[in-house]
């Protein structure tokens, strides 16, 4: 099973000094990643997302052009790097994805269930066969919108808001969740992301309490995953980590998912946003 590989990978991962051969491998992998940067299929998702933002959909036949992502109705530029944040109309701290679901309900007239259906685009790759949202060749309106909206914050500074009491509460809850260990393997986010130098196979894992690591990690999601041929969002990233830890499924756009994202965004504060990125 995958979790065993994850475990074995993490346990075998503390390698303070790499042999010359491993260094060469690392260099070649770096070169491979560099070659992929040239052209990112995320652009295809961004183009669809921009179109979807303007498309009239749902029972009310309305577009999302008046959706307030935190900077005022219809303001997309720079919205992503200021999220998650508190929204007075819902009384909740929301990340981009939960906020888009809100707008699909309030502006377009979808039911909350419809707005959250198929939040992730799917390929049917073996890795995600337990993903209830995915299927072969499916596309996700949510994922496409996320790709475009995130791209409209490219090059900007990550600056989530943590001044409202509910934002502070979300941050604290996220921090608690980050350190919380449970499940059959007594795993937690901190198991993989709490120390320097951990990796799973060839992936170096960011230490989220280290600002530089957190900035790089948060600043490169959403990302186009070449291994899956899909664009993946921050909600998906949380969902997948939680799944790999064999926790109960993390509900899409739930308060717990938003708390985790709030914690990570705050850790990454001050970093430059450079997503959608392209990833292994």
* Structure-derived torsion over alpha carbons of residues 200, 201, 203, 209, reported in degrees to the nearest 10: 20
Q: How many residues bind to other proteins according to rule CB under 8 A?
A: 31
On whether the CB atoms of residues 62 and 109 are closer than 8 A, the answer is yes
189 is catalytic: no
Residue from 8, 11, 23, 28 binding other proteins (CB under 8 A):
28
Nearer residue to other proteins within complex by CB, 43 or 114 = 43
Shortest distance, CB of residue 29 to other proteins, whole angstroms?
5
Name which of 120, 72, 224, 254 is nearest 82 in CA terms: 72
Q: How far is 127 from 112, CA to CA, in rounded Å? A: 28
Is the N-terminal amide bond of 224 cis, ω within 30° of 0?
Answer: no
The reply on whether position 123 binds other proteins by CB under 8 A is: yes
**Distance between first and last Cα of the chain:** 20
The nearer residue to other proteins, 39 or 163, going by C-beta atoms, is 39
Q: What is the dihedral of CA 204, 209, 211, 214, to 10 degrees?
A: 50
Instruction: Figure out which of the listed residues 14, 22, 23, 25 binds other proteins, where binding follows CB under 8 A.
Output: 25
Q: 251: which DSSP letter?
A: P
Site for other proteins (CB under 8 A): which residue of 1, 19, 21, 38? 38
> Does 52 engage in binding with other proteins (CB under 8 A)?
no
Which stretch, 1-9, 182-190, 215-223, 225-233, contacts other proteins (CB under 8 A)?
Answer: 225-233
**129 touches other proteins by CB under 8 A:** yes
Measured between alpha carbons, how far is 167 from 172 in angstroms, rounded to an integer?
Answer: 9
Is 1 an interacting residue with respect to other proteins (CB under 8 A)? no
CB-CB contact of 198 with 205 (8 Å): yes
Q: Of the candidates 126, 155, 165, 184, which one interacts with other proteins according to CB under 8 A?
A: 126
244: which 2 tokens?
């790999």
Positions that interact with other proteins (CB under 8 A): 25, 28-29, 31-33, 35-36, 38-39, 41, 43-44, 47-48, 123-127, 129, 135-137, 201-202, 226-229, 280
Hey, which residues are catalytic here? 241
């Amino acid at each position: 099973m995958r979790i065993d590989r994850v475990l074995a990978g993490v346990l075998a991962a503390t390698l303070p000094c790499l042999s010359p051969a491993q260094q060469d491998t690392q260099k070649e992998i770096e070169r491979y990643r560099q070659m992929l940067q040239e052209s990112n299929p995320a652009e295809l998702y961004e183009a669809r997302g921009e179109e979807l933002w303007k498309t009239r959909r749902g029972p009310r036949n309305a577009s999302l052009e008046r959706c307030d992502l935190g900077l005022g109705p219809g303001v997309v530029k720079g919205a992503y790097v200021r999220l998650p944040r508190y929204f007075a109309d819902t009384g909740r701290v929301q990340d981009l994805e939960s906020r888009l679901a809100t707008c699909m309900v309030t502006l377009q007239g979808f039911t909350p269930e419809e707005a959250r259906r198929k939040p992730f685009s799917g390929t049917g790759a073996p890795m995600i066969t337990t993903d209830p949202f995915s299927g072969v060749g499916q596309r996700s309106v949510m994922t496409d919108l996320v790709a475009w909206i995130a791209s409209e914050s490219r090059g900007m500074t990550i600056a989530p808001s943590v001044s409202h009491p509910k934002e502070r509460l979300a941050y604290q809850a996220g921090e608690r969740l980050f350190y919380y260990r449970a499940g059959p393997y007594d795993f937690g986010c901190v198991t993989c992301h709490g120390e320097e130098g951990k990796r799973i196979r060839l992936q170096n894992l960011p230490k989220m309490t280290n600002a530089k690591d957190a900035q790089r990690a948060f600043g490169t999601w959403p990302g186009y995953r070449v291994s899956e041929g899909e664009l993946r969002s921050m909600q998906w990233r949380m969902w997948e980590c939680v799944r790999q830890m064999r926790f109960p499924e993390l509900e899409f756009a739930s308060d717990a998912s938003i708390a985790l994202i709030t914690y990570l965004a705050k850790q990454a504060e001050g970093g430059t946003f450079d997503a959608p990125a392209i990833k292994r």
